[in-house]
Chains A and B, each alone.
Chain A
Amino acid sequence: MTDKFKFAMYWAGSCGGCEIAVLETKDKILELDANYDVVFWPVAADFKYKDVRAYDDGFIDVCLFNGCIRNSENEEIAHLLRQKSKVLVAFGACATMGGIPGLINETTAAELKELVYTKNPSIDNPEGIYPQEKLEVPEGELELPHLYDTVRTLDQTVAVDYYVPGCPPEAHQIAAVLDVVTAALKGEGELPPKGAVVGVAPKTCCDECKRVKEEKKISGFRRMWEFFPDPEKCLLEQGVVCMGPATRAGCGARCTNVGMPCRGCYGPPEGVVDQGAKMLSTLASIVDAPTPEEIAEITATLPDPVGTFYRFGLASSLLRRAKV
Chain B
Amino acid sequence: MSDQFEPRLIGFLCRWCSYNGADLAGTSRMKYPPNLVPIKTNCSGRVDPTHIFKAFAEGADGVLIAGCHPGDCHYINGNYRTAGRFPLMKKMLEQLGLEPGRIRLEWVSAAEGDKFARVVTEFTEEVRALGPLGWNTRTPEEQADAGQASSDRVEEAVPA
Q: Chain A: residues with CB nearer than 8 A to chain B? A: 106, 148-150, 152, 155-160, 163, 193-197, 268, 270-274, 276-278, 280-281, 283-285, 287, 289, 292, 295-296, 299-300, 302, 304-306, 309, 317-324
Q: List chain B residues, Cβ under 8 A from A321.
A: 96, 142
Q: 8 closest pairs, A vs B, by CB?
A: A323-B97, A292-B83, A295-B84, A284-B85, A296-B87, A195-B154, A277-B49, A159-B151
Contact of A305 among B57, B88, B151 (CB under 8 A): B88
Bound complex: CA A289 to CA B54 (Å):
29
B155 on the A face (CB < 8 A): yes
Q: Looking at the assembled complex, report how far the CB atom of A206 sits from the nearest CB atom of chain B, in whole angstroms.
A: 19
Q: List chain A residues, Cβ under 8 A from B91.
A: 299-300, 302, 305
Q: Is the CB of A322 within 8 A of B158?
A: no
Main secondary structure of the interface of B (DSSP, over half): helix
Bound complex: CA A271 to CA B153 (Å):
11
Residue of A nearest to B148 (CB): A157
Q: Is the CB of A285 within 8 A of B154?
A: no
Bound complex: CA A309 to CA B56 (Å):
18
Q: Is the CB of B57 within 8 A of A284?
A: no
Residue of A nearest to B56 (CB): A319
B141 on the A face (CB < 8 A): yes
Q: Is the CB of A270 within 8 A of B155?
A: yes
Q: List chain A residues, Cβ under 8 A from B156.
A: 197, 268, 270-273
Q: Is the CB of A155 within 8 A of B97?
A: no
Bound complex: CA A246 to CA B103 (Å):
24
Q: Is the CB of A319 within 8 A of B141?
A: no
Q: Chain B: residues with CB nearer than 8 A to chain A? A: 48-50, 53-54, 56-57, 70, 80-81, 83-89, 91-92, 95-98, 133, 135, 138-139, 141-142, 145, 148-156, 158-159
Bound complex: CA A273 to CA B135 (Å):
18
Q: Looking at the assembled complex, report how far the CB atom of B39 sits from the nearest CB atom of chain A, in whole angstroms.
A: 17
- List 19 contacting pairs A-B, 8 Å CB cutoff, sorted by A: A150-B141, A197-B156, A268-B156, A273-B158, A274-B49, A280-B92, A281-B48, A284-B81, A285-B81, A289-B84, A296-B83, A300-B91, A302-B88, A306-B92, A319-B56, A319-B96, A322-B95, A322-B96, A323-B96
Q: List chain A residues, Cβ under 8 A from B133.
A: 323
Bound complex: CA A163 to CA B151 (Å):
11
Q: Is the CB of B57 within 8 A of A319?
A: yes
Q: Is the CB of B150 within 8 A of A280?
A: no
Residue of A nearest to B93 (CB): A319
Q: Looking at the assembled complex, report how far the CB atom of A101 sits from the nearest CB atom of chain B, in whole angstroms.
A: 16
Q: Is the CB of B98 within 8 A of A299?
A: no
Q: Is the CB of B153 within 8 A of A195?
A: yes
**Given A106-B95, A323-B96, CB of A195 within 8 Å of CB of B84:** no
Bound complex: CA A233 to CA B89 (Å):
28
Bound complex: CA A283 to CA B92 (Å):
13
Q: Is the CB of A281 within 8 A of B154?
A: no
